[in-house]
Amino acid sequence: DAGVTQSPTHLIKTRGQQVTLRCSPKSGHDTVSWYQQALGQGPQFIFQYYEEEERQRGNFPDRFSGHQFPNYSSELNVNALLLGDSALYLCASSFSSGPNTGELFFGEGSRLTVL
């Protein structure tokens, strides 16, 4: 049973460019959440997708957007990259049958470096 898979694992961009990160959830999971982890800090919640819609969002600007596909996979898009967007981007999946269910399982992350 494959766990949460993310791609690419590493990428380097320059300021002002755009990036797309991809995530395939664990088999049987229908909810995908994205987190940003800066060096030396805990992950911060970006947003969560369920039934192809953004269900909730953290304190991130509109430059951060996402999408969920019918097969539950998800993309995170970041426009107009800033140096401060350099971080490890983590995808987590869970099965949601209500507001209080679903242990989260995380992928290995995508390491983004903005030069």
Give CA separation, 104 vs 70, 87, 99, in Å.
20, 20, 13
Q: Which of 17, 41, 77, 113 binds other proteins (CB under 8 A)?
A: 41
Q: Which of 33, 66, 74, 76 binds other proteins (CB under 8 A)?
A: 33
Residue 94 is a binding residue for other proteins (CB under 8 A): yes
Yes or no: say if 87 and 99 are a contact pair by the CB < 8 Å rule.
no
For other proteins, the closer of residues 48 and 68 by Cβ is 48
Taking the CA of residue 25 as centre, how many other CA atoms within 13 Å lie in the half-sphere pointing to its CB? Answer: 27
Q: How many CB atoms lie within 10 A of CB 59?
A: 7
Instruction: Give me the residues that bind other proteins (CB under 8 A), please.
Output: 4, 6, 31, 33, 35, 40-45, 48, 50, 55-56, 58, 88, 90, 92, 94, 96, 99-109, 111
